[in-house]
């Protein structure tokens, strides 16, 4: 493994629900979401090498329950399954945060039981996907989503909403799609929280979505940061 990790959050009670975890922030991303809070990570030159990483991980055995692989986009790294296997062999659970654009890595890891939980970003409906993310191929995300549903993998789906780029109709389109695909997990609708330093030039929202216009009776829905 080359240097691929930008930084480590050594303790988190938030990034893997009901688990005490550490978060590995993988450098680089194949998207350019305008609301991204992690521009330092998206453009990062790599930082932490394997020896440093495993010295840290071994020091947390028995103290943390899980390691979260986040970023950036962790699935850009072809050796992610090997890393996840090494982490699990130390006794940790593994969660990944992903935009779903690398279904082959996701399938490989799920098939080998290397992932305990996944947070999958459903960035936008197909019609807006490329405009919002700069990623050209919605079908790769869809392939990951369908695979995880069919495998009955333990995962959540989430969308960050800034009302300059997504509205209630867009969210309802996503909900209908998830329902159509027989998604049984929880769909999190996350209200954008403004920071000064983001990837695009979005300003603070002038309005938030109207929750009364969101279809809530098709799938399990939770609202975050509202
Ligand atoms: S928010 Fe978008 S650009 Fe930022 S790390 Fe996630 S997928 Fe990449």
CATH number, residue 109: 3.20.20.70
Q: Describe the crossing of helices 138-151 and 126-133 by its angle, rounded to 10 degrees.
A: 120
Considering its fold, how many domains does the chain have in total? 1
The answer to whether residue 45 scores a pLDDT higher than 90 is no
73 lines ligand 1 (CB under 6 A): yes
Q: Using 50, 70 and 90 to split pLDDT, how confident is the model at 214?
A: very high
Q: Which residues contact 73 (CB under 8 A, 6 or more apart)?
A: 26, 28, 29, 30, 31, 98, 99, 101, 102
Q: What is the mean pLDDT of the chain?
A: 96
pLDDT tens digits for 132-143?
Answer: 999 999 999 999
In this structure, which residue's CA is closest to atom 2 in ligand 1?
Answer: 33
- Residues 118, 102: Cα–Cα separation, whole Å: 13
81 lines ligand 1 (CB under 6 A): no
Instruction: Note the pLDDT of residue 2.
Output: 58
Cα-to-chain-centroid distance, residue 70: 7
The answer to whether residue 1 scores a pLDDT higher than 80 is no
The answer to whether residue 178 scores a pLDDT higher than 70 is yes
132 lines ligand 1 (CB under 6 A): no
DSSP code, position 76:
G
- Overall average pLDDT of the 155-174 stretch: 98
- Residues 220, 206: Cα–Cα separation, whole Å: 27
Domain range for residue 182?
A: 5-224
Q: Using the atom order of ligand 1, give the atom closest to the CA of residue 121.
A: 7
- Overall average pLDDT of the 131-155 stretch: 97
Measuring CA to CA, which residue among 145, 158, 161, 148 is closest to residue 188?
158
DSSP code, position 185:
S
66 lines ligand 1 (CB under 6 A): no
What share of the chain in percent tops pLDDT 70?
99
31 lines ligand 1 (CB under 6 A): yes
- Overall average pLDDT of the 121-125 stretch: 98
Q: Which helix (H) or strand (E) holds 22?
A: strand 21-26
């Amino acid at each position: 493994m080359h240097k691929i990790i930008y930084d480590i959050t050594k303790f988190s009670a938030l990034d893997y629900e009901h688990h005490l975890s550490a978060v590995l922030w993988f450098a680089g991303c194949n998207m350019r979401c305008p609301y991204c809070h992690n521009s330092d990570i998206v453009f990062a030159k790599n930082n932490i090498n394997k020896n440093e990483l495993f010295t840290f991980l071994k020091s947390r055995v028995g103290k943390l329950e899980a390691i979260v692989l986040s970023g950036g986009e962790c699935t850009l790294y072809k050796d992610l399954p090997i890393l996840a296997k090494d982490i699990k062999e130390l006794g940790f659970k593994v969660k990944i945060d992903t935009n779903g654009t690398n279904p082959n890595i996701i399938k490989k890891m799920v098939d080998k039981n290397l992932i305990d939980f996944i947070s999958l970003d459903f960035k936008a409906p197909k019609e807006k996907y490329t405009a919002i993310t700069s990623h050209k191929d919605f079908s790769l995300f869809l392939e990951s989503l369908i695979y995880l549903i069919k495998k009955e993998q333990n995962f959540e789906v989430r969308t960050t909403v800034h009302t300059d780029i997504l509205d209630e109709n867009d969210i309802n389109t996503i909900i209908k799609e998830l329902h159509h695909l027989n998604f049984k997990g929880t769909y999190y609708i996350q209200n954008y929280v403004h920071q000064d330093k983001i990837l695009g030039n979005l300003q603070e929202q002038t309005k938030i979505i109207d929750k009364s216009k969101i279809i809530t009776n098709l799938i399990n829905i939770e609202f975050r940061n509202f």
